[in-house]
Amino acid sequence: MAQALGFGREALAEFNTPGLRSLQGFRAFFGTVATFALIWTYGVDGGWSSVLEDGLTKLFMAPLVLIVAGPLVITGFILYAPKEDRPWLRGQLKFPLLTVGAYLGIPLGILSVTAGTWWLIFNYISEWEFGLIVGPLLSLFLSFWLLVGLVWLAVFLFLASGVVARTAFNTGIVHPMLPAVFTTLVVWTLNLVSLGDGLPNGPLYVKIAAFLGGPLSVTALSAWELYVLRVRHGIRVRGARAA
C-alpha cells in the first residue's frame, strides 16, 4: 500500500541520507560553538548550570510536545490524504503508538514498582515484622536495587528522549514527511517556551540572532528534507507522485 501513496522504503529512509546527516551534524556543531562563544563573550544569567538545566529541560520537553501535538498533526495528515488511502495510514499508527507506549509505559512501570516496594518496606519489611536483623538487611537490599532501577530509568529517559525527538516517535512510518514537520514544530515551540527566561545577553542583534538562529536552521533542514522527498520521490502530503 505504500506504493499506492507514492512512496516506498527508499523514501522512508531519505531523511537519513549521508548528505543530510552531514548537514545536521554541521548545524549541531556550529550551533554548539556559537552558543559557547555567546556565553563566553556576554555571559549568561545563572552560569553554566543554567545552560545545562535549560538543555535538559528542552530534551525532556520535546517528547511531551510531540505527544500533545502529535494527534492533531497526524489527524490533519490523514484527513488531507485521499479517502482511499486513509485506512492504510490509520493502520500504520500502531507503530508510533507502540513507541509512545514504551516511552511512557517503561518509566511509569518502574516508578509504580518503586513506589509499591517502598510502601512494603515502610509498612511490612520492618524490624517488628521480620526481626531486628532480617528486616533492615532486606530493606537495604531492596533499597539498593531500587536505586539501581532509578539510575537506569534516568539514563533510559535521557537516551530515549533524544531518539524519540529525532524520529518523532517513528511517525515516518505513517508518512515520510511527518518527522520533518514535527521537528520544525518542536523546535519553534521549545524556543517560544524558553523566551519566558528572556533573551540571551549581548547587543540586540546578537540576541535576535541567538534566538532565531537555531529554529531557522532546523526549519531550513526540514524544508530540505521535504524538498528532497517531493522532488526525488514525488512525495507530497496527499501522497501524489510528481509528474
- Averaged pLDDT of the chain: 75
% residues pLDDT > 70 (the chain)? 67
Residue 240 placed within a domain: no
Helix axis angle for 134-167 and 94-123, nearest 10°, is 160
Residue 13 placed within a domain: no
pLDDT for position 3: 44
Q: Which three cell numbers stand for residue 216?
A: 531557522
Is 50 exceeded by the pLDDT of residue 70?
Answer: yes
Is 50 exceeded by the pLDDT of residue 14?
Answer: no
pLDDT band at 48 (very low <50, low <70, confident <90, very high): low
Domain that holds residue 107: 53-228
pLDDT for position 1: 45
Is 70 exceeded by the pLDDT of residue 198?
Answer: no
pLDDT for position 105: 92
pLDDT band at 13 (very low <50, low <70, confident <90, very high): very low
From residue 41, alpha-carbon distances to 21, 28, 201, 208, 210 in Å are 30, 20, 9, 16, 13
Mean pLDDT on 34-42: 56
Residue 59 placed within a domain: yes
Residue 201 placed within a domain: yes
Residue 43 placed within a domain: no
Mind giving me the DSSP string for the chain? -TTTTT--HHHHTGGG-HHHHHHHHHHHHHHHHHHHHHHHHH--TTHHHHHHHHHHHHHHHHHHHHHHHHHHHHHHHHHHS-GGGHHHHHHHTHHHHHHHHHHHHHHHHHHHHHHHHHHHHHHTSSHHHH-TTHHHHHHHHHHHHHHHHHHHHHHHHHHHHHHHHHHTTTGGGT-TTHHHHHHHHHHHHHHHHHGGG-PPSS-HHHHHHHHHHHHHHHHHHHHHHHHHHHHHH---TT-PPP-
- Taking alpha carbons only, the member of 2, 8, 179, 176 closest to residue 88 is 2
- CA 2 from chain centre, in angstroms, equals 25
Residue 179 placed within a domain: yes
pLDDT tens figures, 105-146: 999 999 898 888 888 877 777 655 666 666 777 778 888 888
Residues 6+ apart with CB under 8 A from 19: none
Mean pLDDT on 45-62: 67
Residue 15 placed within a domain: no
Q: Which residue has the higher pLDDT, 9 or 172?
A: 172
pLDDT tens figures, 146-193: 888 889 998 998 888 878 877 888 888 888 888 888 888 888 888 887
Residue 59 CB neighbours (<10 A):
15
Give how many domains the chain has, as a whole number: 1
pLDDT for position 15: 47
Residue 193 placed within a domain: yes
pLDDT tens figures, 199-242: 666 677 777 877 888 788 888 888 888 888 788 777 776 654 33
